[in-house]
Amino acid sequence: MFSILPPNSVSLLADTIYLSFAGALLQVLLPKGKPSLSRWLALLVAVAGLAIAVVGFIAGMGQGRVVIVDAPWVPSMGIHYLLAADGISRVLVLLTGLAAVAGVLFSWNIELRTNEFFAFFLALIGGVYGVFLSFDLFLLFVFYEIAIVPKYFLIAIWGSTRREYAAMKLALYSFVGSAMVLIGLLAAYATSGSHSTSLIDLSHAGFSVSFQMWCFPLVFIGFAILAGMWPFHTWAPTGHVAAPTAASMLLAGVVMKLGAYGCLRVGMSLFPHGLDPWGFSLIGIGSWRDVFAVLAVVGIVYGALVALVQTDFKFVIGYSSVSHMGFVLLGLMTLNQIGMTGAVLQMFSHGILAGLLFAIVGRIVYERTHTRQLAELETMHLAKRLPFAAWAFVIAGIASMGLPGFSGFVAELQVLVGAWKVNPWWVACAGVGIVVGVAYTWRVLQKAFFSDLLPSGHVLEQEHGHALAPITWPEVTGVALLISVSLAVGLYPRILLDAIEPAVKTLLAGGGQ
């Protein structure tokens, strides 16, 4: 159907990485007094990346894993510069492209050190593209770590509440997580005879079951820290709240997916026997699979319950991210086709929706009202003064609740169906999480936008004194982009499922063929 594109267009995908880093470098070299130059360059790079991602996605339809480049990097240790893309990678690269464009659009108003901001932003995007396209474990790890430093600076310099603390916490958590992964990587490399670090080779290395039993949880937890698995999630709400809008969008939207992707691509593919039953079981938990599934479910419910009682708008969204990522991890632990497909779809869906929610809360509301406290927002009648934000949040909220017609419904449904096949209790608890999800979204929607409370005196004078700044075209474009993607995937999920399902099937059949 899409034979107009030459089949090797998939190899274009690697250009997303190079473009982003080149863009970052160029940003640093731009003259300092011209923020608009910075913005347009960043937008150009992001849009180019998205275009390539789309082309690569379409060209890759119907193909399995396509190797893009395989060059020896450090031959003496068997390390290759190996980039490849299967269905899952292509979907996540697409997500990154969308998140990048949306992020740039919602950062249009940054005036402080604009070129440095976009330099760090594009460097982060480049690292993320790299992780999703790497098929060499060492290379994946390199890109994974590259993404840590820009995050720190983005939050520490341009963030808000307690930014330096939040930035350091996030950087250290990420680094500790990646340290755990590094230990696992070194162990796997040494145990397999130190011949190669390619994921494909390592998945054939035939590690002993006892080795996998401890290496798997180490690597999985290392990655799961970044995915926001309970109880290692505490960096996430603080980090998201402190980060500037574009960084929160990327953090919740894409970076947390890096963790989940690592769990899948590295943890579960290389050490599949790590999920086997231990032979004994304690309160119903008899394998690492049970442990992580339970943690995932706890995350879903805990995140939702805590979100329900927050007084800061952005914290609600931050905790809701923890809750939604729980679905991803639960889906991964189902180890069946439908559950894992749902997990990957949820990665995409939540990536888009989290970006949208943070954009509305951060860029559209906070930057105009200068408060995120629900108690204050209640008195501001935002439905009248910021109707665009209100209605955008309505749509984003119902999408986030998992209403059919948007991307979240199919994803969560698939995860639940998959989880049902393993353990109905997981489904019951996750279902509770969904219901609470409706509740907190509802609460925050009411309080922030549609409240009928009479305004306090000082808010009244604000209302008379200054109108809120009008909605700018980048904001409209960004919101439209994200909503339409979520809607498109929600109404016709086959666009993505056709790419994800074969890849999941291959992974389940015995990884990395």
Determine, following the binding rule CB under 8 A, whether residue 410 of this chain makes contact with other proteins. yes
What count of other Cβ atoms lies within 10 Å of the Cβ of residue 417?
Answer: 16
At 220, the amino acid letter reads F
Subset of residues 319 to 348 that bind other proteins, contact rule: CB under 8 A: 337-338, 341
138 interacts with other proteins by CB under 8 A: yes
The sign one gets for the Cα dihedral 31, 33, 37, 39 is positive
Interface residue with other proteins among 414, 423, 441, 486 (CB under 8 A) is 414
**C-alpha pair distances (Å), 366 with each of 73, 114, 191, 195, 452:** 46, 19, 52, 53, 20
Whole-number minimum distance, CB 360 to other proteins, in Å?
A: 17
Among 247, 353, 380, 398, binds other proteins (CB under 8 A): 398
Burial 418-453 (b: 16+ CB within 10 A, else e): bbbebbeebbebbeebbebbbebbebbbebbbebee
Residue-wise DSSP of 195-240: S--BHHHHHTS---HHHHHHHHHHHHHHHHHHHT-TTS-THHHHHH
Radius of gyration of the chain (CA): 22
Q: Which is nearer to other proteins, 177 or 253 (CB)?
A: 177
Map the footprint of other proteins across residues 221-280, applying CB under 8 A.
Answer: none
CB within 8 A of 461, min separation 6: which ones? none
108 Cβ contact list (under 8 Å, min separation 6): 39, 472, 474, 475
* CA angle at 78 for the pair 76 and 81, rounded to the nearest 5°: 115
Q: Which stretch binds other proteins (CB under 8 A): 241-249, 267-275, 358-366, 488-496?
A: 488-496
Q: Are 128 and 8 in contact (CB under 8 A)?
A: no
Name the segment binding other proteins (CB under 8 A); options: 45-53, 352-360, 461-469, 491-499: 491-499
Q: Which of 106, 117, 121, 189 binds other proteins (CB under 8 A)?
A: 189
Binding mask 435-454 for other proteins (x = CB under 8 A): x--x---x---x---x-x--
CB of 80 to other proteins, least distance (A): 12
The CB density around residue 210, as the number of other CB atoms within 10 Å, is 9
Q: What x/- string results for residues 275 through 314 when contact with other proteins is judged by CB under 8 A?
A: ----------------------------------------
Give yes or no for residue 388 binding other proteins (CB under 8 A): no
Instruction: Give min distance, CB of 265 to other proteins, in A.
Output: 18
Give the DSSP per-residue string, 79-93: EEEEEEE-HHHHHHH
Min CB(152)–other proteins separation in Å? 6
492 binds other proteins (CB under 8 A): yes
Query: Which of 255, 246, 264, 203 shows the shortest CA–CA distance to 42?
Result: 246
The burial of 472, by beta-carbon neighbours within 10 Å (0-12 exposed, 13-18 middle, 19 or more buried), is given as middle
CB of 405 to other proteins, least distance (A): 5
Which residues from 88-117 bind other proteins, rule CB under 8 A? Answer: 116
By the rule CB under 8 A, 186 interacts with other proteins:
yes
Pairing of β 285-287 and β 277-282: antiparallel
Contact 359, 102 (CB under 8 A): yes
- Provide the strand spans (E) within 51-103: 66-74, 79-85
Question: Is 115:38 a contact under the CB 8 Å cutoff?
Answer: yes
Site string for other proteins, 348-387 (x = CB under 8 A): -----------------------------------x---x
- How many residues form the binding site for other proteins (CB under 8 A)? 63
What is the Cα–Cα distance from 186 to 176, expressed in whole angstroms? 15
- Taking CB under 8 A as the criterion, which residues in 16-45 touch other proteins? 28
* Cα–Cα distance for residue pair 513/507, rounded to 1 Å: 8
- Please report whether residue 153 would count as binding other proteins according to CB under 8 A: yes
- Shortest distance, CB of residue 176 to other proteins, whole angstroms? 5
Q: Does 416 bind other proteins (CB under 8 A)?
A: yes
Segment interacting with other proteins, rule: CB under 8 A, options 313-321, 364-372, 478-486, 493-501: 493-501
**Cβ–Cβ under 8 Å, residues 246 and 159:** no
Q: Which of 22, 47, 157, 488 binds other proteins (CB under 8 A)?
A: 157
Q: Which of 55, 187, 305, 487 binds other proteins (CB under 8 A)?
A: 187
Tokens describing residue 162: 């307690």
Footprint of other proteins (CB under 8 A): 28, 73-77, 116, 138, 141-143, 145-146, 148-149, 152-153, 156-157, 164, 168, 171-172, 175-176, 178-179, 182-183, 186-187, 189-191, 194, 337-338, 341, 383, 387, 394, 398, 403-405, 410, 413-414, 416-417, 420, 431, 435, 438, 442, 446, 450, 452, 492-494, 497, 501
